[in-house]
Amino acid sequence: MFLYPPSQDSVIQVTEESYKKCNIKDPILYMNNGNSLFNLTSKGQFYFTSGVAGHCQKNQKLHIAVGEGIIENTDAAPGPGSSLPASAPSYPTVFGNIPVAASTSTPTSTSSQLTSTFQLLIIGYVICTLFYLM
Protein backbone atom coordinates (compact mmCIF):
# COMPACT_ATOMS: atom_id res chain seq x y z
CA MET A 1 0.00 0.00 0.00
CA PHE A 2 1.31 3.41 -0.96
CA LEU A 3 0.00 6.34 1.08
CA TYR A 4 0.67 9.88 -0.14
CA PRO A 5 -1.11 13.22 -0.66
CA PRO A 6 -2.88 12.72 -4.03
CA SER A 7 -2.67 16.41 -4.86
CA GLN A 8 1.13 16.31 -4.54
CA ASP A 9 2.28 12.90 -5.77
CA SER A 10 1.52 9.63 -7.53
CA VAL A 11 3.09 6.17 -7.72
CA ILE A 12 4.02 4.38 -10.92
CA GLN A 13 5.23 0.88 -11.64
CA VAL A 14 8.06 0.91 -14.17
CA THR A 15 10.48 -1.46 -15.88
CA GLU A 16 13.92 -2.15 -14.41
CA GLU A 17 15.53 0.06 -17.07
CA SER A 18 13.14 2.94 -16.37
CA TYR A 19 13.75 2.50 -12.63
CA LYS A 20 17.52 2.75 -13.05
CA LYS A 21 17.29 5.76 -15.39
CA CYS A 22 14.41 7.46 -13.51
CA ASN A 23 12.37 7.47 -16.70
CA ILE A 24 8.76 8.12 -15.67
CA LYS A 25 7.31 8.09 -19.20
CA ASP A 26 5.19 5.10 -20.27
CA PRO A 27 4.72 3.44 -16.84
CA ILE A 28 3.38 -0.11 -16.55
CA LEU A 29 0.85 1.09 -13.96
CA TYR A 30 -0.18 4.58 -12.80
CA MET A 31 -1.73 5.13 -9.34
CA ASN A 32 -2.77 8.58 -8.10
CA ASN A 33 -5.53 8.26 -5.50
CA GLY A 34 -3.28 8.69 -2.41
CA ASN A 35 -4.15 5.24 -1.05
CA SER A 36 -2.85 2.91 -3.75
CA LEU A 37 -2.88 -0.83 -3.20
CA PHE A 38 -0.62 -3.12 -5.23
CA ASN A 39 -1.06 -6.85 -4.65
CA LEU A 40 2.06 -8.98 -5.02
CA THR A 41 0.59 -12.22 -6.31
CA SER A 42 3.57 -13.72 -8.12
CA LYS A 43 7.34 -14.09 -7.86
CA GLY A 44 9.44 -11.48 -9.57
CA GLN A 45 11.05 -8.08 -9.48
CA PHE A 46 8.78 -5.04 -9.07
CA TYR A 47 9.91 -1.46 -9.57
CA PHE A 48 8.06 1.64 -8.34
CA THR A 49 8.81 5.33 -8.25
CA SER A 50 7.05 8.62 -7.72
CA GLY A 51 5.22 9.83 -10.81
CA VAL A 52 6.30 13.42 -10.20
CA ALA A 53 9.26 14.71 -12.23
CA GLY A 54 12.43 14.97 -10.13
CA HIS A 55 11.25 12.77 -7.25
CA CYS A 56 12.92 9.60 -8.57
CA GLN A 57 16.24 11.45 -8.75
CA LYS A 58 15.78 12.15 -5.03
CA ASN A 59 15.61 8.35 -4.49
CA GLN A 60 11.84 8.26 -4.04
CA LYS A 61 11.73 4.82 -5.60
CA LEU A 62 11.27 1.25 -4.44
CA HIS A 63 12.49 -2.13 -5.76
CA ILE A 64 10.76 -5.24 -4.40
CA ALA A 65 12.04 -8.79 -5.02
CA VAL A 66 9.45 -11.49 -4.27
CA GLY A 67 10.35 -15.16 -3.84
CA GLU A 68 13.74 -14.99 -5.45
CA GLY A 69 15.96 -14.99 -2.37
CA ILE A 70 18.18 -12.21 -1.17
CA ILE A 71 19.73 -10.02 -3.82
CA GLU A 72 22.55 -7.58 -3.44
CA ASN A 73 21.52 -3.93 -3.36
CA THR A 74 22.97 -2.27 -6.44
CA ASP A 75 21.28 1.09 -5.91
CA ALA A 76 23.57 3.88 -4.85
CA ALA A 77 22.84 5.02 -1.33
CA PRO A 78 23.49 8.65 -0.40
CA GLY A 79 27.09 9.03 0.65
CA PRO A 80 28.81 11.31 3.16
CA GLY A 81 28.90 14.13 0.60
CA SER A 82 25.14 13.95 0.13
CA SER A 83 22.91 16.93 0.84
CA LEU A 84 20.77 14.80 3.15
CA PRO A 85 21.06 15.53 6.88
CA ALA A 86 22.84 13.04 9.15
CA SER A 87 19.60 12.36 10.98
CA ALA A 88 16.07 12.68 9.66
CA PRO A 89 13.35 14.38 11.68
CA SER A 90 10.67 12.24 13.26
CA TYR A 91 7.12 12.55 11.94
CA PRO A 92 3.89 11.46 13.64
CA THR A 93 1.88 8.67 12.08
CA VAL A 94 -0.62 10.51 9.90
CA PHE A 95 -2.33 7.57 8.26
CA GLY A 96 -3.03 5.41 11.33
CA ASN A 97 -1.93 1.83 11.91
CA ILE A 98 -1.40 -0.56 9.03
CA PRO A 99 -3.79 -3.50 9.44
CA VAL A 100 -2.15 -6.91 9.63
CA ALA A 101 -4.17 -10.06 9.04
CA ALA A 102 -4.05 -12.69 11.78
CA SER A 103 -1.66 -15.47 10.87
CA THR A 104 -2.06 -19.13 11.74
CA SER A 105 1.45 -20.01 10.57
CA THR A 106 4.60 -20.00 12.66
CA PRO A 107 6.39 -16.66 13.12
CA THR A 108 9.36 -17.89 11.09
CA SER A 109 7.32 -18.73 8.00
CA THR A 110 8.39 -17.22 4.68
CA SER A 111 4.92 -15.76 4.15
CA SER A 112 4.88 -13.73 7.34
CA GLN A 113 8.51 -12.67 6.81
CA LEU A 114 7.63 -11.42 3.31
CA THR A 115 4.59 -9.58 4.66
CA SER A 116 6.65 -7.91 7.40
CA THR A 117 9.44 -6.98 5.00
CA PHE A 118 6.98 -5.55 2.48
CA GLN A 119 5.22 -3.50 5.16
CA LEU A 120 8.55 -2.08 6.33
CA LEU A 121 9.48 -1.16 2.77
CA ILE A 122 6.19 0.66 2.27
CA ILE A 123 6.52 2.49 5.59
CA GLY A 124 10.05 3.50 4.57
CA TYR A 125 8.80 4.78 1.23
CA VAL A 126 6.08 6.85 2.92
CA ILE A 127 8.57 8.32 5.40
CA CYS A 128 11.00 9.19 2.60
CA THR A 129 8.20 10.82 0.62
CA LEU A 130 7.12 12.87 3.63
CA PHE A 131 10.74 13.84 4.34
CA TYR A 132 11.31 15.12 0.81
CA LEU A 133 8.00 17.00 0.72
CA MET A 134 8.94 19.05 3.77
48 forms beta bridges with 13, 62
Residue 74 confidence (pLDDT): 52
Into how many domains does the chain fold? 1
The answer to whether residue 92 is domain-embedded is no
Report which of residues 63 and 105 the model is more confident about.
63
The answer to whether residue 120 is domain-embedded is yes
The answer to whether residue 83 is domain-embedded is no
Report which of residues 52 and 97 the model is more confident about.
52
Mean pLDDT, the chain, rounded, equals 72
Q: CA 15, CA 37: separation in Å to the nearest integer?
A: 18
Report which of residues 132 and 27 the model is more confident about.
27
Query: Any idea what DSSP says for residue 31?
Result: E
Question: pLDDT, tens digit, for every residue of 86-130?
Answer: 554 444 444 444 444 444 544 444 555 555 555 656 666 666 555
Residue 114 confidence (pLDDT): 52
Q: Which amino acid is at 38?
A: F
Question: 25 falls in which pLDDT band (50, 70, 90)?
Answer: very high
64 forms beta bridges with 46
- Model-level pTM? 0.53
Residue 124 confidence (pLDDT): 63
Q: 58-82: string of b/e by CB count within 10 Å (b at 16+)?
A: bbbbbbbeeeeeeeeeeeeeeeeee
The answer to whether residue 18 is domain-embedded is yes
The answer to whether residue 52 is domain-embedded is yes
What is the domain range of residue 117?
2-69+105-133
Q: CA 53, CA 67: separation in Å to the nearest integer?
A: 31
The answer to whether residue 96 is domain-embedded is no
Question: Domain with 51 in it: what CATH number?
Answer: 2.60.40.420
Residue 38 confidence (pLDDT): 85
Cβ 31 vs Cβ 38: under 8 Å: yes
Q: CA 128, CA 132: separation in Å to the nearest integer?
A: 6
The three state secondary structure string of 23-90 is CCCCCCEEECCCEECCCCCCCEEEEEEECCCCCHHHCCEEEEEECCCCCCCCCCCCCCCCCCCCCCCC
Residue 40 confidence (pLDDT): 85
